[in-house]
Structure 1
Amino acid sequence: MTLIKQFFNTQATDTGALDRGLQFGDGHFTTLRILNGTPEHLEAHLARLVHANRTLRIHHSTFTTLRNRLTELAKDVEQGVCKVIVTRGNSAQGYGYDHRIEANEYIQISTLPEPQNPLDVGLANVTLAEQTVLAGLKTLNRLEQVLLSAEKSEKGVDDLVVCTNDGRVIEAVQGNLFWKKRGRWQTPSLTTAGIDGVMRQHIINSNALGNLDIKEGRVTDLEHAEQIFVCNSVRGAVPVRSFNGKVFENLPLPEKVQRLAL
């Protein structure tokens, strides 16, 4: 089957140049914070891109110079956000692809968002699909998050806790979850779904919370928690003020975690 014609809005376009990221969500991305002209946790974000390229079998030939290019782009940015998007490249149509295809790379620089107040969080109705091969990756397939963002707005909350179909807690819409129960910090296992965020890994690897349990959490764990926070690479760690109507005591987060916030 050969593509004969192709239009963008009302204008004819090249039939051989449609990005697979647009066609199939065939790609991945990472988002990092820039402070004082320096990309934060750059090596960890580059490692994330390498892992995703290998898992998805994407040939990203310009990756060898990406570190230098990001460092140069960040030099004149006092505070900002950098998003790197990698797609498999262009093809006419069909799921299959030429293994020699070259990846497309997009880099966006934007302003840093305002710091967030403690969050009022609800429980999502939309659940996450499970796929062990893709678990942990930040792929371009974000329709679940689009629906979740709409649900969040409809419910009038700052964020939502998202679960699998069988009720295992995975993450929030805008980041990874940590909660403290009976004096011990916990975070969900992400072996079947969810995004293994760079900030999540930094908190775990730096021992910022002391002894930490990575477990299959349930909603009841959050309902009986003493503290909860949501984290990502842009905002750092943001405490949760309430979950499903339960208001938590205003306890300070551990000092190492507090330093990660905007």
Structure 2
Amino acid sequence: MLVHGSDRQTLAPNDRAALYGDALFETLLWSQTHLVLAPLHWQRLLSGAARLQITLDPQVLQAFVTDIEATLKTQASDKFCAVRVSVHRSVDARGYAFSDQTTPELVCLINTAPMSSPRPVDLGVSPIHLARQPLLAGLKHANRLEQVMASQSLADQGYEDGLMCLETGPVVCTTRANVYALIDDVWHTPLLNDAGVAGTRRAWFLQESEQGFWQTKESELTLDQLYQADAVMISNALRGFQEVGSIAGRPLRASPQIARVKQRYADALAPEAC
């Protein structure tokens, strides 16, 4: 574990990420020589800090990133790693309020990245719903209890991952990925106004749409629409874009457009593209 500006290898006893989940984090892919799509991660982290009123100085973040990259180039030059960078709000006083903030704690954890299977993913449907909270919608904050409980429920059913919905029905995401459904040649991805994380691969996908590589629309999607879609895929930073083969045991259609997305994304992984 790396802690910015410190030789400590543990969190402070009053760390607010541990006490309250009062933190943001990014999970990046180190691809042997570089952090993939890193600017999208730092942009989201700084934006999230501003929304939560965490006093994160961009120059302090950049200095920490430089240290992380130096460590990775020395210790993981031939490896694929999962790199978690988190920003923990720092307050000297006890309690929830944060009027007397100090410089936030920056922490980095480095682990071996999971292997991504080329086979389509079989998703379950989580019986645990996401709560509506517009204040936190889109943010990758450290309070992940909904995902923790949903993941265990899905594991008990034999699924590695599954869809999560609002209580009113719309699909938002999986426990760890954004969702896309191909309907009439348009890739629809759920609105994230009330819940969910605005993923960096989702941001990349929408940017590529603006460049004319495919058509996208942020929409309210139901499970029935996913069952009837021409194709469904999911994405996150470590596994990229994956085709969904079935949902709750119901086979889905496949489309060559998924291979097109995967190839475009593979091109984006090249060092010169990042």
- Are 1:115 and 1:235, in contact at CA under 8 Å, matched by a contact in 2? yes
- Unpaired runs of at least 5, structure 2: 1-11, 270-274
- Alignment-derived partner of residue 70 in structure 2: 72
Q: Over aligned residues, Cα RMSD in angstroms?
A: 2.0
Does residue 185 of structure 2 align to residue 183 of structure 1? yes
- Alignment-derived partner of residue 228 in structure 2: 224
In the comparison of the two structures, how many residue pairs are matched? 247
2:203 to 197, 201, 204: 201
| 1:98 Cα offset (Å) | 4.0
Query: Relative to structure 2, which stretch is displaced further, 246-255 or 197-206?
Result: 246-255
- Alignment-derived partner of residue 81 in structure 1: 82
- Are 1:17 and 1:92, in contact at CA under 8 Å, matched by a contact in 2? no
Residues 1-262 of structure 1 aligned to structure 2 (within 5 Å): 17-61=13-57, 62-76=60-74, 77=76, 78=78, 79-91=80-92, 93-116=94-117, 117-207=119-209, 210-252=214-256, 253-260=258-265
CA distance in 1, matches of 2:112, 2:265: 18
Percent identity of equivalent pairs:
28
CA distance in 2, matches of 1:123, 1:98: 41
Task: Report Cα offsets for 1:105-134 as digits up to 9, x if no partner.
Answer: 110111121122311112111111111121
Amino acid at match of 1:88: R
- Are 1:46 and 1:67, in contact at CA under 8 Å, matched by a contact in 2? no
Q: TM-score, normalised by structure 2?
A: 0.84
Amino acid at match of 1:199: R
| Structure showing the higher helix proportion among its residues | 2
| 1:43 Cα offset (Å) | 0.9
| 1:259 Cα offset (Å) | 4.9
Runs of 4+ aligned structure 1 residues displaced above 4 Å come to none
Structure index of larger Rg: 1
| 1:209 Cα offset (Å) | 5.7
CA distance in 1, matches of 2:141, 2:190: 19
SS in 1 for 2:101: coil
Q: TM-score, normalised by structure 1?
A: 0.88
- Unpaired runs of at least 5, structure 1: 1-15
